[in-house]
Amino acid sequence: MIVVNLDVMLARRGMSLSGLSERVGITLANLSNLKTGKARAIRFSTLDAICRALDCTPGDILEFRGE
Alpha-carbon span 15 to 53, nearest angstrom: 10
pLDDT of residue 56: 97
Q: What is the pLDDT of residue 67?
A: 76
What pTM did the predictor assign?
0.91
Query: What's the pLDDT band for 57 if we cut at 50, 70, 90?
Result: very high
Provide φ and ψ at 25, rounded to 5°.
75, 30
pLDDT in tens, 2-42: 999 999 999 999 999 999 999 999 999 999 999 998 999 99
Mean pLDDT, residues 57-62: 96
Query: Can you give 8-63 as a three-state secondary structure string?
Result: HHHHHHCCCHHHHHHHHCCCHHHHHHHHCCCCCCCCHHHHHHHHHHHCCCHHHHEE
Domains of the chain: 2-64 (1.10.260.40)
